[in-house]
Amino acid sequence: MANLLTINHLSYSRNLQLILKDLNLELPYGQIVGLLGTNGAGKTTLMRLIAGNYIDRKNSISINTETNSAVRKSLVSFTEQVGGWSGHPRIFKIGNFYDALYEDFNLTTFNQLLSNLNLSPDQRVNQLSKGNFRKLVIAVTLARQTDLYLLDEPFDGIDSMTRKKIISSIIQWKPENATVLVSDHHVGDIANLLDQVVIIKDQHVAAQEAADTIRETLGKDIETYYEDFYREEL
């Protein structure tokens, strides 16, 4: 089977600053992949480019062989694309909104995710804690039936119990052949979730390795493996 995501020689600058340079990456179907790197390494920028939020003018990125940025937006479910609601809607209205917006949005799955994450459809968005808001973002993101999910810092600023709930939901609700690319600078939070690790350093992919190879062949836990690339900077 061909790769789901292919990136060839991607470079990207913003505000006259080079953020990514000659970056290459291939991701297969059916994997949970950790995108690791320090703050400012370019993880979020890479996700925005993959999702089509930023324009890849040289068509360096393809998802299911599709290189057009506008089309790729329909092939990716990205946490950053969730939000921006006007007023203070109840959660069930959020579900109805995305059900109308995306053909691949599954309202039944969304409601099941809400239940699994202990969210009430009648809660208003403005009354949610930070942790519960993050859970809502995950529920919306995973309720779409796509091949590629991009989760940017899904555990930022939330407690350990909420992290466990979100991790459980990712494992349970990810379609079998779908791939999840998840970034987080707290590596220990996602280590046990991962099939692969991708490390961004010096504006490109510095390493890509199977999680089992890191643990069994290299004899390291994923956090140590990551820190070895940044030891002088950490």
Q: pLDDT tens across 65-113, in order?
A: 899 888 888 899 999 988 878 778 999 999 999 999 999 999 999 999 9
Pairing status of strand 76-78 against strand 148-152: parallel
Rounded to an integer, what distance in angstroms lies between the CA atom of residue 164 and that of residue 118? 13
Q: Which two tokens stand for residue 92?
A: 């069930």
Q: pLDDT tens across 176-214, in order?
A: 899 999 998 778 878 888 999 999 999 999 999 999 999
Rounded to an integer, what distance in angstroms lies between the CA atom of residue 24 and that of residue 205? 7
The predicted pLDDT at position 150 comes to: 97
Q: pLDDT tens across 133-174, in order?
A: 999 999 999 999 999 999 999 888 778 888 888 888 888 888
Whether 158 contacts 127, CB under 8 Å: no
Q: pLDDT tens across 16-43, in order?
A: 899 999 999 999 999 999 999 988 899 9
Whether 39 contacts 101, CB under 8 Å: no
Distances (CA, A) of 24 to 12, 86, 151: 12, 39, 20
Whether 185 contacts 216, CB under 8 Å: no
The predicted pLDDT at position 76 comes to: 96
Tell me the pTM: 0.94
Higher pLDDT, 228 or 148: 148
Pairing status of strand 148-152 against strand 179-183: parallel
Q: Which secondary structure element, helix H or strand E, spans residue 70, and what is its range?
A: helix 69-72
Q: Which residues of 131-158 are buried (b: 16+ CB within 10 A; e: fewer)?
A: bbbbbbbbbbbbbbebbbbbbbbbbeeb
Q: Write out 133-177 in H/E/C secondary structure.
A: HHHHHHHHHHHECCCEEEEECCCCCCCHHHHHHHHHHHHHHCCCC
Rounded to an integer, what distance in angstroms lies between the CA atom of residue 173 and that of residue 157? 23
Question: For residue 163, what are the contacts with CB-CB under 8 A and spacing of at least 6?
Answer: 155, 189
Single out the residue of 17, 81, 25, 84 nearest to residue 209, CA to CA: 25
The predicted pLDDT at position 71 comes to: 87
Please tell me the CATH code under which domain 5-230 is placed: 3.40.50.300
Is the predicted pLDDT of residue 232 greater than 70, yes or no?
no
Pairing status of strand 32-36 against strand 179-183: parallel
Q: pLDDT tens across 108-130, in order?
A: 999 999 999 999 999 999 999 98
